[in-house]
Amino acid sequence: MHYKISSENHIFIFSKDNKPVLFVKEGDEVEIETLDCFSNQIKSNEDKLESMDWNKVNPATGPIYVEGAKEGNVLEITIKKIEIADKGVVATGKDLGVLGDLMEELYSRVVYIKDGNVIFNEKVSLPIKPMIGVIGVSPKEGNINCGTPGSHGGNMDTTLIGEGAKLYLPVFVEGALFALGDLHAAMGDGEVGVSGVEVAGSVTVEFRVLKNFKLSNPIVKTKDVTATIVSNESLDEAVKVAVHDMAKLFRSFTKLSIEEIATLFSIAGNVQISQVVDPLKTVRFSLPNWVLDSYGIAF
Kindly give the pairing relationship between strand 149-150 and strand 125-127.
unpaired
**Could you tell me which of 210, 141, 137 has the C-alpha nearest to residue 175?**
137
> What top-level class would CATH report for the domain 2-43+57-85+129-211?
mainly beta
Read off the pTM: 0.97
Residue 33 CA to residue 56 CA, distance in Å, equals: 16
Helix axes 258-268, 235-253, angle to 10 degrees: 120
Map out the domains of the chain as residue ranges: 2-43+57-85+129-211, 220-295
Q: CA–CA separation, 175 vs 247, rounded Å?
A: 29
Contact 11, 182 (CB under 8 A): no
Spatial neighbors of 299 by CB under 8 A, at least 6 apart, are 74, 168, 210, 213
pLDDT in tens, 7-31: 999 999 999 999 999 999 999 999 9
Contact call for residues 285 and 270 (beta carbons, < 8 A): yes
The CATH-assigned architecture of domain 220-295 is Roll (3.10)
Q: Can you give the pLDDT of all 299 residues of the chain as single tens digits?
A: 999 999 999 999 999 999 999 999 999 999 999 999 999 999 999 999 999 999 999 999 999 999 999 999 999 999 999 999 999 999 999 999 999 999 999 999 999 999 999 999 999 999 999 999 999 999 999 999 999 999 999 999 999 999 999 999 999 999 999 999 999 999 999 999 999 999 999 999 999 999 999 999 999 999 999 999 999 999 999 999 999 999 999 999 999 999 999 999 999 999 999 999 999 999 999 999 999 999 999 99
Q: Omega of the bond prior to 149 within 30 degrees of 0, cis?
A: no
Q: What is the pLDDT of residues 123-138, one digit of tens each?
A: 999 999 999 999 999 9
**Any residues with CB less than 8 A from the CB of 79 and at least 6 apart, and which?**
132, 161, 162, 163, 164, 165, 166, 167, 203, 204, 205
